[in-house]
Structure 1
């Protein structure tokens, strides 16, 4: 693993991320945009799953918000992977980084379990509330660990 991390740190792309006048800043801005799209859409959908604004039909709301969340997730994952190249050995040595990745995997698994399982239209109200609460908690934890990473 150490050899792989060292090799990643020495790639031309890693050099660009680390040394470019604008590279890291542009990637960071795109990462924040991805997070904003993801979390903005997810929070609105999760609040609806928890019962807020229950007069809004869930299926059309999900049809609107889920593609925004998926776009944000893909953008955040792509740019996050590139930002990792700034210091692969350093990030890999941080337990907080691994916690963030674990929380992301759990949050994605929660969404997949609901959507590929019963689906929004067929899930019980209890199942929807549970999925919404878990999603909200996981994504807030991802945000918190991501911010803490910038300062430790």
Structure 2
């Protein structure tokens, strides 16, 4: 598998991003901004699932926040893949990177499962199910955020 990562790091796009200060900076900025959109949307929705702001109907918050979180996630994934290929062999070797990917996968799968079962507005889900979904989501996304930041301090 290591050969795959080395090959990815040698692709034209990876080389172009490594050589272009502004290209890499633009992709990195998009990644950070998208993390803000994703995590901000998810955190507000998760806190509502945990019982905050009960006077605001869940459906009224869920519709725009789920949309914003999905947009943020799409940009995070696209920009993250571009950042990954610049040093694919190094990142793939980091345990903290693999933990980050696992947390993103679990957070995304959990959200998809709940939205497929209960719809975008999550109506029909019991309070207990909503709380478990909120806790799972907060742990996964906060953990992924922390792991992503720790990557800068690992290796070399």
With normalisation by structure 2, the TM-score equals: 0.94
CA distance in 1, matches of 2:35, 2:107: 13
Instruction: Give the structure 1 partner of residue 55 of structure 2.
Output: 55
What whole-Å deviation, never above 9, does each CA across 1:73-99 have from its counterpart, x for those lacking one? 000110000000111110111111110
Write the mapping of 1:26-65 to structure 2, written as runs, cut at 5 A.
26-65=26-65
- The answer for unaligned runs of 5 or more in structure 2 is none
CA distance in 1, matches of 2:125, 2:20: 48
Tell me, what secondary structure is at the counterpart of 1:62?
A: helix
- Deviating beyond 4 angstroms after TM superposition, the runs of 4 or more aligned structure 1 residues are none
Write the mapping of 1:88-127 to structure 2, written as runs, cut at 5 A.
88-119=88-119, 120-127=122-129
With normalisation by structure 1, the TM-score equals: 0.97
CA distance in 2, matches of 1:130, 1:7: 41
What is the CA-CA distance between 1:3 and the residue it aligns to? 2.1
- The answer for unaligned runs of 5 or more in structure 1 is none
CA distance in 2, matches of 1:63, 1:113: 16
